[in-house]
Amino acid sequence: MVTVEQSDNVAIITLNRPDFRNAIDTDTGIALWQAVQEFEENDAAAVAVVTGAGGHFCAGADLKALDKGIPWNPNFGHGPLGPTWHTPSKPVIAAVEGYAVAGGLELALWCDLRVAADSAVFGVFCRRWGVPLIDGGTVRLPRLIGESRAMDLILTGRAVDADEAYAIGLANRRCADGQALATALELARQIARHPQACMLSDRTCVQQAAGKPFAEAMRTEGELGWQYLQSRGFADGVSQFVKGAGRHGEGS
């Protein structure tokens, strides 16, 4: 259902139901939530990559299981699909090949960044069957691409290919088919090379300031930034700068 492996300081979480385009049933959702919890508790993993087996990312909730009367508990974790109502404490990247649609789109939106292969297709396909977005789609999609573009996708349920996804900011990186995981791992390692406490502080600021009035958002940045400036991490960073670290675009 869900496999977890570690590559250096990156956790790779793979949805492994290829016969169902990695649609998430109750057992898979529970396993995904457990994998996210383990990642957050794992000090050796700075970033996680979520991907899918068999050429697709995720087709959303397993509606066929529901139609067969198989019990499905929408609150078994922190969201109907597992972790989607929960904000992870460390960055997560989606490596998308094939379909990332309906709840699968919402799972990709839950991640901090998205890598899209040529075959990637995003969309609110659940619109076609009268199934609502309930894993953060109506909240995260407008924040990522703007209300107008988000409303287009939410109202029409149309397919968005990788080129359009990249053009509108839904995808952060593009790559050839079969390279989404490798590209995501390269991106994850780049992120993991930075001083983590400072990067995570700025990440938290972005999350907490989203949707706030400008003045309130600036106060949030000031409070979190000032808190970090008092830390040993900032002092160490200044010392590393003086010694020449980070020049010519090199990581720490």
User: Which residues lie across from 116 on neighbouring strands?
Assistant: 96, 174
Residue 51 near residue 58 (C-beta atoms within 8 A)? no
Its pTM stands at: 0.90
Per DSSP, 75 falls in state T
State which amino acid sits at residue 4. Answer: V
What are the structure tokens assigned to 69, written together?
A: 């009367």
pLDDT level of residue 234 (50, 70, 90 thresholds): very low
Task: State the Cα–Cα distance between residues 98 and 131, nearest whole angstrom.
Answer: 21
The pLDDT of residue 70: 57
Are 131 and 82 in contact, with CB atoms under 8 Å apart? no
**Pick from 139-143, 171-175, 220-224, 240-244: least confident:** 240-244
Each residue's pLDDT tens digit, 137-158: 999 999 999 999 999 999 999 9
Q: Is 92's pLDDT higher than 50? A: yes
Task: Give phi and psi for 99, each to the nearest 5.
Answer: -75, 130
Q: Is the pLDDT of residue 75 over 90?
A: no
8 Cβ neighbours under 8 A, 6+ residues apart: 189, 192
pLDDT score recorded for residue 223 = 84
Percent of all residues in the chain with a pLDDT value above 70, rounded to a whole number = 87
Q: pLDDT tier at 100 (50, 70, 90 boundaries)? A: very high
Q: What is the mean pLDDT of the chain?
A: 89
Residue 229 has pLDDT above 80, yes or no: no
Contact 198, 237 (CB under 8 A): yes
Which residue from 45, 183, 58 is spatially nearest to 121, judged by alpha carbons? 58
CA atoms within 13 A on the CB side of 223: 11
For residue 34, is pLDDT > 70?
yes
Cβ atoms of 137 and 105 closer than 8 Å = yes
Q: Who's near 53: CB < 8 A, 6+ residues apart? A: 3, 14, 15, 16, 17, 18, 22
